[in-house]
Amino acid sequence: MPEPGTPLRILVLHGPNLNLLGSREPGVYGNSPLEQIDGQLVERARLLGVVVTGSFQSNSESELVDRLHACRGLVDGVVFNPAAFTHTSVSLRDALTATSIPFVEVHLSNVHARESFRRKSFFSDIAVGVVTGFGADSYLLGLEGLVRHLRGAGRGAG
């Protein structure tokens, strides 16, 4: 946690193919390009009194792992859309547990209403929470939930 009076620091991570948002299957993923989503997150963070320290998208699993390692101790939480790595990446899961950075898993589409292989997540059980199916708003809802959790208001039983 930051010093008292210092805003919470939030990192946003985007997994593979999210650089194509706005043109990639808009019926599934919406029309908002990634830059627009990132801008909305920065603005919502400002309204919440927190800071988005950076937004990073990669199609490379190792680059996402490296970014998590580099942010250890520098951020208070992560809003993370692992995209296709949701269903495959033990190394990203291990990076999240090793760094102990609280995170919220977000997805644009409702993964539970899609192909059966998309229903398995390597992250849901270690995430603070999961937001899925609200399009670009999933990121904003995830940010709000993460901030509430970090401030101590998001803890509850079941």
Rounded to the nearest 10 degrees, the angle between the axes of helix 34-48 and helix 137-150 is: 30
> Which of 14, 107, 139, 149 is flagged as catalytic?
107
Q: Is 29 a catalytic residue?
A: yes
| The total number of residues written for the chain in this structure | 158
Distance from CA of residue 152 to its chain's centroid?
19
Closest of 58, 59, 65, 42 to residue 143, by C-alpha:
42
Is 69 assigned a catalytic role? no
Q: Using alpha carbons, select from 88, 128, 89, 91 the residue that is nearest to residue 106.
A: 128
**Distance, CA of 4 to CA of 34 (rounded, Å):** 32
Q: What are phi and psi of 37, to 5 degrees?
A: -60, -45
| Active site residues per annotation | 29, 107
